[in-house]
Amino acid sequence: MQKAVVSRIGQYEIRLCDREDIPAVIEINAETLPEHYSDYFYFEILAEFPDTFLVAELGGKVVGYVMCRIEYGFSHVKRLGLARKGHVVSIAVLEAHRGKGIGTGLIRGAEEGVARKSGTEMYLEVRVKNTSAISLYEMLGYKPSGRMDSYYRDGEAALLMAAQIGQ
């Protein structure tokens, strides 16, 4: 089956996630992040927001993913008002494939998907101690927009980061 390629980074393809990719996505999540979800959750996000669920593939193997929700609510970048927002629920790249621009490609691809659905901003929560992810978001223009103490189960705080997109 022909899969919808969003971009290429060297030998890697960033493309839309397919139902068949979900087991690999779940495995990457289990290996790389302490926040896990039920299998149903991944399928539900894919069914509801297929344009912003992307995977990175190398030679037929999925090595990274990003999944988002599109929400409508208070803006994280404007001082007042409402906005249609892309919420990065989870992003991860297998350790052996990091530092090659895949995280950047996944986020940029997700932003394009959100913009096509009339979203004007992106936001996410990240552990305050996750310096590599925070550096990635900063490099991509995301700014801190809040902090939530004891956000994670182990008590770590979350930094909220957000960026305007699509102008």
Which residue blocks in the chain are alpha helix, DSSP H? 22-32, 39-48, 102-116, 131-139
CB-based contacts of 14, cutoff 8 Å, min separation 6: 5, 6, 7, 8, 54, 55, 56, 102, 105, 106, 109
Q: Which of 91, 125, 137, 163 binds Zn ion (CB under 5 A)?
A: 125
Q: How far is the CB of 91 from ligand ACO (least distance, A)?
A: 4
User: Of the two residues 80 and 140, which places its CB atom closer to ligand ACO in the complex?
Assistant: 140
CB closer to Zn ion, 21 vs 125: 125
Q: Which runs of consecutive H residues, i.e. helices, occur in 61-162?
A: 102-116, 131-139
Taking a C-beta distance cutoff of 8 angstroms, is the pair 53, 22 a contact? Answer: no
| Residue numbers 94-133 binding ligand ACO by CB under 6 A | 98-104, 124, 126, 130, 132-133
Answer yes or no whether residue 93 interacts with ligand ACO by CB under 6 A. Answer: yes
DSSP state of 77: S
Q: Rule CB under 5 A: which residues touch Zn ion?
A: 125
Q: Rule CB under 6 A: which residues touch ligand ACO?
A: 32-33, 88, 90-93, 98-104, 124, 126, 130, 132-133, 135-136, 139
